[in-house]
Structure 1
Amino acid sequence: MKTTLLFLCIFFGHNILAQKIEDIDFEGLTKTKPFFLHTHIQCKAGMPIDSVIIEKDVQQLRNLNLFFKVESKLTLLEDSSKNYRLTFIIEEANYIFPILLIGGFKDIFKLEAGLNNINYKGEGKTIGAWYQYYDRHSFSFYHNTPKYLHSNFGHNIVFSKYSTIEPLYFKAKKSFFNYDNYALWLNAKYWLNKNYHVDLGFTPMYEKYRQLDSVEIPLVQRDFTFFKFRINSGIHFKKINYLYERISGIKSTLYTETIQTKNEPMASFFLVKLSTVQHFLIHKKGNLSYRHVFGLSTNKVSPFTPFVLDGFLNIRGIGNRIERGTGIHFINLEYKHTIYQNKILILQSNVFLDAGTLRAAGEKIAMLFSLKETKAQVGFGLRLHTKKYYKTIFRLDYGIGIHKMGSNGFSFGMGQFF
């Protein structure tokens, strides 16, 4: 009896192990290149069938954040009892979508508009153009290749002209300048594995400042220009699972940057910043997310400090670049809940708490943890996801100040806040 059982176990175990993937194909592709997807899956022709690996590959294809839906099926080939075809069934998206953000605080208005192709040439590359009105006119053109085929390298290239009316802080005085920045950012990245990559970038810049008021400032000239260069580096970790309007997982970045100029030593600095974003699924319709950012720079008294509190960047509804400093510490906490969906759209409501502090130039790090210095906003909003155009999310937020001298404000845009 024991001999018979052993024989049956060996026989059936052999047959199970002998089942192989003879062929792999992708069904439903109209724009994405199959060879691009092959570089992102573990399954290969000739491998034994492993349901765990297949499910991981399905999620990996979803995590490319390019498709509405990804599923898999195994089909027994004709005239075979052990060879199968593995098919990934994919529903592709419209990859060219608009960029739009509208918002304001009191007498400040901001508009962003543009076009973005997130699957250029069917290889997961990004190319786009962007326009902004935020006191003045800005634009940029960019191209991003996350990873070259059959290589661990990738790149970013951005050419931009950024123009605003910028407040500069000279101790107790504040003066406004027309600010123009022309930059060409060249960035190379290297993937250590599917979750980790490092990057290194170089940016030559030309900046112009023209004072708009008559505030006395401790500079020789009221109008001045800089030729500057930036060197940046980063270590990035990302392990995010996408489930259409809801996401789970974590991503984190340790970023360093130095900016140097010969004309004005006060404009040179070094900074380091650690940012972490984490998402949690709550039951079947909820999504809890938080972002935590902590950064420090060279702590010298200068009007050209790199960190800023701004209602469009970190604390919703707080206002227009209300403070600058040599250190920053802020947290965004948000809960989104799916309240309605059909074949065309998904509607989410959200509530949030944003809080943060800056270290003023020359002050101690303890200032970043001072409740007295903390600026906080609570608020609510809506997210409208369109199912026809992938990643097209209309966002509306309204922030209410709960700190001393707090202000209220709204922002309307596309995409999630973080």
Structure 2
Amino acid sequence: MRSSLLLIALMVSFIGFSQEPIIENIEIEGLKRTKESFIRRLIKVKPGSVYDSLKIATDIERLNRLPGVANANSKIIENSATKYSVTYTIVENFTIIPGLRVSQANNGEESAFRVSAFEFNLFGQGQLLGGFYSKDVFNSYGVFWEAPFLFSNKLGVGVNYQSNITFEPIFAENNGVSEDFRYRKQAFQASLLYEHDFHNRAELGFSFGNQEYNLQPDQPNTEVPDQIKASTIGIIGEYEFNDLLIEYQYLSGFRNQTNIEYLFNSGASEFIPNAFIGINNLEYFKRVGKKGNFANRLKLSYTTNRDSPFAPFTLDNQINIRGVGNTVDRGTASIVLNTEYRHTLFEKGWFVVQGNTFLDAGTWRNPGNDISQLFDGSSVRVSPGLGLRFIHKRIFNTVIRIDYGFGIANAKTSGLVFGIGQFF
């Protein structure tokens, strides 16, 4: 009997010593505008779960990606041998962000501008609400609402409406003469947003609207009608794999984003036929020492709308090649590589000055050409350059960007580029 009691005591003791520690309590500190209930819904570590340092690290990465969070970290307190407490400490971002962009208008005679305002943490739940107004010869506007976690910590929705009217140079296939059109596109878009896990998310949606091209006066038109109209219905998909580590202005890891769209166009089918459009962005970042950051982006674009002069991909300062100018060319396929080294020159408290040296390079397939044009060198643009960044660490995406690109291949255009946010 005595030996049986001893055996039972040893078994109970062994079970006690081998028991995994449990998360007894979770505290969240530092919140001002963000709802605590929203943060608790997103994090994977829950009270009563087994302590897992990897899950806690994943929660920190997830929180650091939120627009409303400037920085997050964790602290573990051992209450007893089998019970831990976890404290998440959050430094919040200011998330009501105005925007201003000024440039030369596409007609080369006027100034163009775009003003915007966006709230990236609406209701303290990571929702986006905002809009823009721009004038580039003509007036344009758009409104956006996105709630990535509206229905659960995985499922949300996004909607937007845009009316864009721009002055567009269209390049005729045979004579190479640029013809200037007033291009108007109105579209409503709605999408479901789904986050499968921490690294993978997807969107599926639709759009409907119309497009209209009107030839401007005194143009040397020889191939394209004076007016083209089409109604458009689109099916839209997006997939993103995100494995980025974010620490204020520094990034490391990689991210890949694929966007696909199929457009059904009724009317003007000769010039705006049904088309598949695909764009893939691959980004890779690496920390270099304590103050350096190596950044790279490879962007591949393709459409089946090969012969129409109204090609969807533009060569532009703000999109792909810094220094070339505003909407200087169009293409039906493109390969663009942007690589840059960012180095922190000054940092104190919330303010950072960052220097930047970059190389932008790209090649285009012009309307009517074969895919081989991407590789024959005839449309290559190369632009090395230097830049500065002025960064506010407590305001989401507040990076005032100034770059000067020097064109060295084909069109040797150089120029200064201003913007808000990192180029990529």
TM-score, with structure 2 as normaliser: 0.89
**Cα displacement string for residues 61-98 of structure 1 (whole angstroms, at most 9, x for unaligned residues):** 21224322322223456xx7743432211121212111
Q: How far apart, in 1, do the equivalents of 2:356 and 2:15 lie?
A: 51
Q: Which runs of 5+ in 2 are unaligned?
A: 1-8
What's the counterpart of residue 241 of structure 2?
237
Letter in 1 for 2:61: Q
Q: How far apart, in 1, do the equivalents of 2:139 and 2:59 lie?
A: 44
Q: How far apart, in 1, do the equivalents of 2:419 and 2:379 lie?
A: 29
Is 1:246 aligned with 2:247?
Answer: no
What's the counterpart of residue 352 of structure 2?
346
Going from structure 1 to structure 2, the CA distance change for 1:370 and 1:147 (only over 3 Å counts) comes to farther
Is 1:257 aligned with 2:261?
Answer: yes
Aligned-residue offset at 1:373 = 2.4
- Aligned residues of 1:140 and 1:159 also touching (Cα < 8 A): yes
Residue 383 of structure 2 is aligned with which of 377, 382, 391?
377
Going from structure 1 to structure 2, the CA distance change for 1:68 and 1:198 (only over 3 Å counts) comes to closer
What's the counterpart of residue 4 of structure 1?
none
* Segment drifting more, 80-89 vs 253-262: 80-89
Residue 184 of structure 2 is aligned with which of 180, 187, 191?
180
Residue 315 of structure 2 is aligned with which of 303, 306, 309?
309
Aligned-residue offset at 1:209 = 2.3
Secondary structure of the 2:406 match is strand
Secondary structure of the 2:42 match is coil
Secondary structure of the 1:144 match is strand
Secondary structure of the 2:43 match is coil
- Aligned residues of 1:65 and 1:242 also touching (Cα < 8 A): no
- Aligned residues of 1:299 and 1:362 also touching (Cα < 8 A): no
What's the counterpart of residue 95 of structure 1?
95
Q: How far apart, in 2, do the equivalents of 1:276 and 1:177 lie?
A: 33
Q: How far apart, in 2, do the equivalents of 1:255 and 1:59 lie?
A: 24
**Cα displacement string for residues 318-372 of structure 1 (whole angstroms, at most 9, x for unaligned residues):** 1122221221111111111001011241010001111111112232212112334
The CA RMSD measured in Å over matched residues stands at 2.4
Between Structure 1 and Structure 2, how many residues are aligned?
A: 408
Is 1:197 aligned with 2:173?
Answer: no
Going from structure 1 to structure 2, the CA distance change for 1:170 and 1:262 (only over 3 Å counts) comes to same
Q: How far apart, in 1, do the equivalents of 2:17 and 2:58 lie?
A: 24
What's the counterpart of residue 25 of structure 1?
27
- Aligned residues of 1:378 and 1:400 also touching (Cα < 8 A): yes
Aligned-residue offset at 1:141 = 0.5
Q: How far apart, in 2, do the equivalents of 1:373 and 1:207 lie?
A: 28
Going from structure 1 to structure 2, the CA distance change for 1:98 and 1:233 (only over 3 Å counts) comes to same
**Cα displacement string for residues 77-120 of structure 1 (whole angstroms, at most 9, x for unaligned residues):** 6xx77434322111212121112223448756442221111111
What's the counterpart of residue 156 of structure 1?
158
Going from structure 1 to structure 2, the CA distance change for 1:68 and 1:234 (only over 3 Å counts) comes to closer
Aligned-residue offset at 1:198 = 2.3
Secondary structure of the 2:290 match is coil
Q: How far apart, in 1, do the equivalents of 2:15 and 2:114 lie?
A: 60
Going from structure 1 to structure 2, the CA distance change for 1:296 and 1:390 (only over 3 Å counts) comes to closer
* Segment drifting more, 347-356 vs 203-212: 203-212
- Aligned residues of 1:260 and 1:267 also touching (Cα < 8 A): no
Secondary structure of the 1:37 match is helix
- Aligned residues of 1:17 and 1:48 also touching (Cα < 8 A): no
Q: How far apart, in 1, do the equivalents of 2:351 and 2:290 lie?
A: 17
Q: How far apart, in 2, do the equivalents of 1:84 and 1:260 lie?
A: 57
What's the counterpart of residue 281 of structure 1?
287
Aligned-residue offset at 1:52 = 3.6
What's the counterpart of residue 132 of structure 1?
134
TM-score, with structure 1 as normaliser: 0.90
Going from structure 1 to structure 2, the CA distance change for 1:178 and 1:241 (only over 3 Å counts) comes to same
What's the counterpart of residue 75 of structure 2?
73
Q: Percent identity?
A: 29
Letter in 2 for 1:87: T
Going from structure 1 to structure 2, the CA distance change for 1:179 and 1:43 (only over 3 Å counts) comes to same
Aligned-residue offset at 1:270 = 1.8
Aligned-residue offset at 1:46 = 1.1
Is 1:34 aligned with 2:36?
Answer: yes
* Segment drifting more, 335-344 vs 64-73: 64-73
Letter in 1 for 2:315: L
